[in-house]
Amino acid sequence: MPHSKGSYFVHLKAFVLERYGEEGWQQLLAALPEGERHTVDAALSISWVEMRTRIRVTRLLLEVLAAGDQGVLRAFGRFEADRDLSTTQRFFLRMANPGYAIEKAGQYWRRFYDWGDLVVERRANNYVIATVRESVVDDEVYCIQWMAYLLRVFELVGAKNIKVQHTHCKMRGDPHCVFEGTWIE
């Protein structure tokens, strides 16, 4: 069974508490199957949680707390990226350049997932293609949230005038999810 790092759930809880309060967090937990409630509520950054639980709780965030407004997925993607990249990491990545920083993202994939790979190809100085290979994801909520995460990473490492497109998607029948990004340094 594929897994995601528990840090996702730690950040999700902080996001929900900040945006919807304790009542919102309890509402989200109550919408989960009983066996997953404790797993989600007690997740630690270092723990591993099944991807199907991650997808289910993300879908519930969208449906239960945001009434279908996909903006919440984008807001959470940005929120999560802010917490994943420490101030020190941002400083050192900015000293290089955004292209280098994004190339390094592929090397960090296994810190967050025990499945698939993120292959980042730099095609030009300010143009990259990021491909999620061997994805186990079966819901577009992941793609929407991850694209916002990627966009925020670009911003955090100093890129300007960023454009990120989800050009291929496993949910649309493509073999892999592909994200293409351009920016100005």
Nearest to 30 by CA among 60, 6, 50, 58: 60
Q: What's the helix, strand, coil split of the chain in %, to 5?
A: 55, 20, 20
Question: pLDDT value at position 108?
Answer: 83
Q: Which two tokens stand for residue 49?
A: 């949680």
In this model, does residue 86 exceed pLDDT 80? Answer: no
Number of neighbouring beta carbons within 10 Å of residue 74: 17
Question: 162 lies in which domain range?
Answer: 97-184
Is residue 57 included in any domain, yes or no? yes
pLDDT at 91 over 60: no
For residues 97 and 105, the answer to whether their CB atoms sit within 8 Å is no
101 and 179 inside one domain = yes
pLDDT over 70 percentage in the chain? 94
pTM: 0.91
Within-domain flag for 91? no
Last residue of a domain, one of 44, 79, 114: 79
- The mean per-residue pLDDT over the stretch 97-110 comes to 78
**What mean pLDDT, rounded, does the chain reach?**
91
Task: Give the angle 81-43-54 at the CA atoms, nearest 5°.
Answer: 60
Residue that has been written with the tokens 């186990």 in this structure: 136
Domain count, the chain: 2
* Gyration radius of the chain over CA positions: 16
Pair (178, 101) in one structural domain: yes
| 117 and 171 together in one domain | yes
